[in-house]
Amino acid sequence: MSPPTPLLCTLVLLALPFLLEAQGTPAASPAPAAGPDPVAILQGARQYSTLLQLLTTRNLVEEIGNLLKNNRDGLTIFAPTDNAFNNLPPGTLNLLSPDQQTQLLLLHVVGKYYSKDTLSTASNPVRTLATNYTLNFIGGNNQVNVSTGVVNIPVNNELYVKSPLAIFSIDSVLIPPALAGGKAPAPSPSAGGPTAPSTPAEGPTAPTPQPVSGSYRRRRVDWGVLLGAGVAFLGLLR
Ligand SMILES: *[C@@H]1O[C@H](CO)[C@@H](O)[C@H](O)[C@H]1NC(C)=O
Ligand SMILES: *[C@@H]1O[C@H](CO)[C@@H](O)[C@H](O)[C@H]1NC(C)=O
């Protein structure tokens, strides 16, 4: 098969600058962040805007991101849904000091990766990122509960479970005993008050466009098209 050979050489020569450029580009632009992004996962799952808003106002997004990068044991996050926050007795969050809010949020984060299976084997009480608050994991048949002592709820949906990060959805906010006693008003039987803690109106926090990686991707596509055309052309010759 001698005819295709010079043509192939020409094609390769033509493609060479593109190939070199494509290889050079990633070094110039910042490498894409390795590893899972908890905020992106929560944003994608939609029903966690209150949690995301609180994490942002308490400046915990970066801290959690850093921990995820640096903590060899990984992280497990229990993510209360927007409904969970809405079901708190009215005003619960507002009665907490900023520090207490931070501790409350950190109670939902464990500095170790647990799958649903290993959750039930954890030795209680399990330390959390909150200074003084711990959690207990209570394994039943096929069901694991997470408990603070005053809140005891099943661990439901796995939003993301791949070492080093696990995110489980929960239907109640994990209130520690220290913050339940007298701090929050007792839930009234007529708990119809739709006092959502100023949830952002629908808008998930601004999407972050990434023009650099975008153009990089486009160039790769161009190169792919070129290669595809070359292969198709060679096929025609046969
Ligand atoms: C944690 O507990 C210690 C000792 O009981 C106490 O001194 C400290 O103030 C507590 N920290 C927080 C953040 O509650
Ligand atoms: C788990 O939580 C559910 C709902 O709160 C409760 O009915 C059940 O008894 C709990 N299971 C254990 C083992 O505590």
21 class by beta-carbon count within 10 Å (0-12 exposed, 13-18 middle, 19+ buried): exposed
Q: Report the range of poorest mean pLDDT among 92-96, 175-179, 216-220.
A: 216-220
Containing structural domain, residue 113: 38-177
How far apart are the CA of 132 and the centre of ligand 1, in A? 6
pTM of structure: 0.66
Query: Any residues with Cβ below 6 Å from ligand 1, and which?
Result: 103, 131-132
**Nearest alpha-carbon partner for 64 in 167, 154, 206:** 167
- Report which ligand 1 atom has the smallest distance to the Cα of 99: 13
Average pLDDT over residues 160-186: 84
The number of folded domains in the chain is 1
pLDDT, greater one: 190 or 129: 129
Does residue 10 belong to any structural domain of this protein? no
Does residue 198 belong to any structural domain of this protein? no
Neighbours of 175 (CB within 10 A): 21
Name the residue of 124, 145, 175 whose CB sits within 8 Å of the most ligand 2 atoms, as the mutation to test its pocket.
145
Does residue 126 belong to any structural domain of this protein? yes
Ligand minimally distant from the alpha carbon of residue 129: 1
Does residue 144 belong to any structural domain of this protein? yes
Q: Which CATH number fits the domain that encloses residue 91?
A: 2.30.180.10
Does residue 154 belong to any structural domain of this protein? yes
Does residue 113 belong to any structural domain of this protein? yes
pLDDT exceeds 90 at position 171: yes
Does residue 46 belong to any structural domain of this protein? yes
Does residue 64 belong to any structural domain of this protein? yes
Distances (CA, A) of 203 to 37, 50, 152, 207, 227: 19, 11, 31, 10, 41
